Amino acid sequence: MAIRIIRQEGDEILKKKSREVDVIDEKIQVLIDDMIETMHKYNGVGLAAVQVGILKRVIVIDIYDDNGPIVLINPVITKTKGEQEVDEGCLSFPNKFAKVIRPKEVTAEYLDRNGKSKKIKAKDLLAQAICHEVDHLNGEVFVDKIIPGTLEYIEPENNK
């Protein structure tokens, strides 16, 4: 396992659409393990493969609720319900936070890391994370969706 370099704001790859995963092979398994390790190192809730420079439709999410990380390959949001105004940040936009409107609940279909077809119903933070990461796969970043006037830059602790 390895910590991958997270692509940052301004990197053109973040605006590109990711491709479907055709085969879940050893390379994809290594990518998944590296993404989980990288997400945990930077205290992220989610990470899309594009954020580590790989244009594949793979996301990992961990809302730190004792269920461990969730791996979604080729995720498709099939249903949304309600809306919530949430504070959001992104590992590709360090120390930037803003308010975004996201669905309160989502249903998504995806493949797990073993290639098994799954469906997830999520609400609140998990729904938010799924939407945020699926946006990445489509070349969309949260700063394009923020409620105007809510973007904040929080100075990192070690720079104070």
pLDDT digits (tens, 9 = 90+) for 47-72: 999 999 999 999 999 999 988 999 99
pLDDT at 160 over 60: no
pLDDT at 136 over 90: yes
pLDDT value of position 113: 97
Domain extent listing, the chain? 12-159
- Beta strand 70-81 with 46-48: parallel, antiparallel or unpaired? unpaired
Task: Kindly report the pTM of this predicted structure.
Answer: 0.95
155 is catalytic: no
Q: Which amino acid is at 125?
A: L
Distance CA 120, CA 122 (A): 6
Residues 69, 71, 72: CA angle, nearest 5 degrees: 145
| Beta-carbon count within 10 A of 71 CB | 23
Distance CA 98, CA 77 (A): 23
Phi, psi of 64 (to 5 degrees): 55, 50
Report residue 43 as tokens. 């205290």
133, 140, 152, 157: which one is catalytic? Answer: 133
pLDDT in tens, 1-20: 799 999 999 999 999 999 99
- Residue range 12-159 forms a domain whose CATH class is alpha beta
- Report percent pLDDT > 90 for the chain: 94
